[in-house]
Amino acid sequence: MLSRQKLLLHPAAKATLFVLCLLPFAWLFYRALSNQLGANPAEALIRAMGDWTLRFICIVLAVTPLRVISSTPALARFRRMLGLFAYFYAFVHLLSYSWFDMGLDVSDIAKDIGKRPFILVGFTAFVLLTPLAATSFNAAIKAMGAKRWQMLHKLVYLIAGLGLLHFFWMRAGKNNFAEVFVYAAIIVFLLGWRVQQFLKRKMPQRSYAGRTKLS
């Protein structure tokens, strides 16, 4: 465990993770430039950026369970960066849709968001993700206070649900639900683990309260 901790605390660890997180974007950018995105490159790019957004949200949710289960506190130092990359891919996903599908026409985008529920859900998830990205810095934590900051960042659970629903609706038109079930299972497991941990913390308190009354 000590060697793993030292490795994760190494100054180069964050830089390495940063490069790894950028690789999907770089690969998609290269494929777009070299016309390797298929017959409909715009749709392929929009979908791929959405997929990576959901993947990064799952990774962010997985940090705490992995940290606790593996007894590796150093993993927590990467959560902020991973969260910002989730926002980055969400932003590029939205930008790709706005540019390639809607020609950056704000009025058409607004009408499309109101007309199509799956886009409304995805846009809502992006809007909720924005304050989380904006307050992911130490100065924001200090200004808000730890408790209020933690309450705000619990929105990630709602965002994960909305992201999954958006993903489901995007795949529904092509009857491709295999990936949806995989992401749903991952998110349910990660949220279920948190519920279990919450109940575990509450149970000793209730037991203590009961013993106090009896005494």
Q: Do 76 and 67 contact (CB within 8 A), yes or no? A: yes
User: What is the overall mean pLDDT for the chain?
Assistant: 89
Which amino acid does the sequence have at 7?
A: L
Judge whether residue 214 has pLDDT over 90.
no
pLDDT in tens, 2-13: 477 788 888 899
- Number of domains within the chain: 1
Compute the distance between CA of residue 179 and CA of residue 14 in angstroms, rounded to an integer.
Answer: 29
38: three-class secondary structure by DSSP: coil
Within a domain: 129? yes
H-type alpha helices, the chain: 2-9, 11-33, 41-69, 79-96, 106-115, 117-134, 138-144, 146-153, 155-172, 178-214
Within a domain: 4? no
What is the predicted pLDDT for the residue at 215? 47
Within a domain: 28? no
pLDDT in tens, 57-72: 999 999 999 999 988 9
What is the predicted pLDDT for the residue at 171? 77
Within a domain: 202? yes
Within a domain: 19? no
Within a domain: 34? no
Average pLDDT for residues 34-53, to the nearest whole number?
A: 93
pLDDT grade for 205, boundaries at 50, 70 and 90: low
Phi, psi of 157 (to 5 degrees): -70, -45
Tell me the two tokens of residue 191. 């949220």
Domain containing residue 151: 45-66+79-214
Judge whether residue 213 has pLDDT over 90.
no
What is the predicted pLDDT for the residue at 99? 95
Tell me the two tokens of residue 146. 């730890």
pLDDT in tens, 111-164: 999 999 999 999 999 999 999 999 998 899 899 998 999 999 999 999 999 999
Tell me if the pTM is above 0.75: yes
Average pLDDT for residues 174-185, to the nearest whole number?
A: 83
Within a domain: 24? no
Within a domain: 73? no
